[in-house]
Structure 1
């Protein structure tokens, strides 16, 4: 069985002069290069509304690419008995609380043990859905809530809602440095120029907006609540590093470990032992894609992040630090 879905993305300035097939593989990385090339040759790709069937077509920048994608059953990835922490389920959607260290979608170096593998095992009908129904991703070491579609109709509506910024996602995080007030970061994000596995603030990147507020202040750290308007890869991590407050434990954007002056051996041990970004998708709110009912879920902050917060709280008390 197969289904047709429409994919759309804007070409950035950084893509000027690049070939169509190269840009498609970057903008739609969920799909293989060979599949994207096949869609081009089949006349399923258009640039600003005009069909193009030449993979080597050069782009000028700022075009709109549209792909009329035909999705066959997901056969390239194998079902696996991956345990999924399902916090809500009905006939149309699943809401999962993802654990740290679990990859959402198979990719380079992570072909097994992913959420997608688990979906194929637990929900065989998901083979008929693009990305097995996955609507949005969380980074490997980010924990928390994500919604998955169980039907084509639900997936179509959820993707549209996500693009229209109608799905609310709030995160809990612990940032390095003392922050006095909340705010927002409205800076475009694109692929890092030299570190291809990382993202960066880039004037030629895609619009990206992150709201944040201070939840708790520590002596040299801050606990935050953040809300995404957009959902770029690594968005919160990149934006917080950009304003000088990277997330505790972030292996890509925080640089070397920074220890508070006069930190106790206990706090040092906790911070050294925390080897992932301190980021948790704590709240998810959306309109049900079929019934239209507003729904909201909350996932408790995981134990490892609570341990870091408590150690920082104790450090503030020991140094008689007050907000």
Structure 2
């Protein structure tokens, strides 16, 4: 069932001369500008009891604005009993540690079996929240922390915080090649010109900024920590590939196996067998959308990446010993 809402606010004197869509956005901050504008032009918003559908209508101050609308349930998606690893939960948000091989949202080729389907099962009321409360996504084989909103106000505020770059997201990764130091990649990302399922650095793309620092050197690989300013699709994978250090195991963006010279057959096989991008969302920090309390969460690096780093570390140690 759709959730019926009726909200009322009074235009302030400071909003004199504003367009109606601007005033509405300032008065009803629990909803996105896009949603409010859609309600406005479809007759869901009235001014002093009269429905107004023109966003450019000017306000004078003192008008009573009423929103009468519906929040559609996510009924088109099936609720499925899929386990979730919950790191934190309260009345407004859920923080999840996502495993590999788990798609966040249904789409082409993945109609179900996703985190969204699991959320609808474990939290039926989340159907009243757009996208079942999903605020940001991780790629299918990227592991780690995600925050999900249980309510519309929580989701709207988290999305706004994400847009304002007020949510800190840190990742751990293993990159191919020996990186000399940290830095940042500030390059726009958009849809790949010929491979439509992939992204690429392109002049017509949206702004994207990734910061990275070296955590540990190996012979032909580097363990790194990354921090996102923006959240474009495949951002870390695209940016690291762009600077010639694709992620280990990332076949889509050039992360083909690189075997260190003189490596043991065991290590060579372990590198060849690593079959996902070596990327994990290790830390998430944000202000709670309702209480404003600063929250910080950490998710341990998964076993496959820990074991891979240990093998590369041993290889580097053995070859240092041989050099002496």
SS in 2 for 1:244: coil
Contact 1:168 1:227 in 2 (8 A): yes
Residues 32-54 of structure 1: per-residue CA shift (max 9 Å, x gap)? xxxxxx99x9599xxxx779xxx
The answer as to 2:119 corresponding to 1:119 is: yes
- The 5 A counterparts of 1:1-323 are 1-2=2-3, 5-6=31-32, 71-320=71-320
**Count of residue pairs the alignment pairs up:** 272
1-structure distance, mates of 2:271, 2:254 = 13
Contact 1:139 1:234 in 2 (8 A): yes
Residues 200-247 of structure 1: per-residue CA shift (max 9 Å, x gap)? 001111000000000000011100000000000000000000000000
**Closer/same/farther in 2, CA of residues 317 and 181 from structure 1, 3 Å limit:** same
Contact 2:220 2:258 in 1 (8 A): no
The CA deviation at 1:258 is 2.1
2-structure distance, mates of 1:272, 1:201 = 27
Residues 255-305 of structure 1: per-residue CA shift (max 9 Å, x gap)? 532222222111111111110000000000000000000000000000000
Where do 5+ consecutive residues of structure 2 fail to align?
6-29, 45-54, 58-68
SS in 1 for 2:95: strand
Residue number in structure 2 paired with 1:26: none
SS in 2 for 1:266: helix
Q: Name the TM-score, length of structure 1 as normaliser.
A: 0.80
Residues 113-151 of structure 1: per-residue CA shift (max 9 Å, x gap)? 110000000000011011100000000000000000001
2-structure distance, mates of 1:173, 1:7 = 36
SS in 2 for 1:320: helix
RMSD, aligned CA = 2.3
1-structure distance, mates of 2:302, 2:247 = 16
**Closer/same/farther in 2, CA of residues 188 and 109 from structure 1, 3 Å limit:** same
SS in 1 for 2:256: coil
1-structure distance, mates of 2:304, 2:237 = 18
**Closer/same/farther in 2, CA of residues 107 and 186 from structure 1, 3 Å limit:** same
Report which of the two structures shows the higher radius of gyration computed on alpha carbons: 2
SS in 2 for 1:223: strand
Contact 1:106 1:116 in 2 (8 A): yes
1-structure distance, mates of 2:267, 2:192 = 33
**Closer/same/farther in 2, CA of residues 104 and 50 from structure 1, 3 Å limit:** farther
2-structure distance, mates of 1:50, 1:226 = 43
